[in-house]
């Protein structure tokens, strides 16, 4: 076979592969509201009004002490963290009790987040504890420059 035939076969195989990939992927709606409107077969304006009313309705339920269950997504609830002590700027500080919003995802949503091909919205860098070599050793560590002076060891 000559080069022209090989090039033609390569082009046909590329087109077939690209065509299969295009047929296999679904076109996503441009916004979340449009995606919901397509699924529930409603106008985008109606869905937008519902979503705007969603936030205040969740706030009402949380203020009443209830949790909000979003089927297939998560459970939203208010949790109280009791008073505790923590280091703030190297000083031990008493942190007062405070309420936090807790969002507990469903197992299905957690599984989807870890599927191959899922694109994260943001990447969080891991925390690494790095020892500062310029700090003074603690009292209970072995002496570095001078041996221990205690007798009876």
pLDDT tens for residues 56-109?
Answer: 999 999 999 999 999 989 999 999 999 999 988 888 999 999 999 999 999 999
Tell me the pLDDT band of 131, cut-offs 50, 70 and 90. confident
Residue 83 resides in a domain: yes
The whole model's pTM is what?
0.59
Section 105-132 average pLDDT: 88
What is the total residue count of the chain?
Answer: 153
The answer as to whether 81 is a domain residue is: yes
HSE value, Cβ hemisphere, 13 Å, CA-based, for 104: 8
Judge whether residue 49 has pLDDT over 70.
Answer: yes
Average pLDDT, the chain: 79
Identify whether 145 is part of a domain. Answer: no
What is the model's pLDDT at position 32? 82
**Long-range contacts from 41-50, C-beta under 8 angstroms, 24+ separation:** none
> Number of folded domains in the chain?
1
Task: From 56, 58, 51, select the one nearest 32 (Cα to Cα).
Answer: 51
Kindly state the average pLDDT of the residues 111-125.
90
**Structural domain range at position 92:** 67-117
Contacts of 95 (CB under 8 A, 6+ apart): 83, 84, 85, 86
Could you tell me if residue 38 is inside a domain? no
List CB contacts of 121: < 8 A, sequence separation 6 or more.
none
pLDDT number for residue 38: 86
Instruction: Tell me, yes or no, whether 98 lies in a domain.
Output: yes
Q: What is the CATH number of the domain that holds 83?
A: 4.10.520.10
């Amino acid at each position: 076979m000559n080069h022209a035939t090989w090039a033609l076969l390569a082009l046909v195989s590329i087109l077939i592969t690209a065509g299969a990939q295009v047929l296999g992927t679904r076109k996503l709606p441009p916004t979340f509201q449009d995606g919901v409107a397509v699924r529930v077969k409603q106008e985008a304006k109606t869905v937008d009004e519902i979503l705007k009313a969603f936030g205040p309705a969740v706030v009402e339920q949380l203020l009443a002490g209830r949790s909000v269950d979003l089927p297939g997504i998560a459970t939203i609830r208010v949790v109280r963290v009791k008073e505790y002590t923590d280091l703030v700027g190297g000083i031990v500080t008493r942190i007062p009790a405070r309420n936090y919003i807790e969002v507990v995802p469903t197992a299905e949503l957690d599984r989807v987040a870890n599927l191959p091909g899922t694109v994260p919205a943001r990447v969080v860098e891991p925390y690494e504890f790095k020892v500062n070599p310029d700090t003074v050793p603690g009292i209970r560590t072995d002496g570095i420059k001078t041996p221990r002076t205690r007798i009876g060891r």
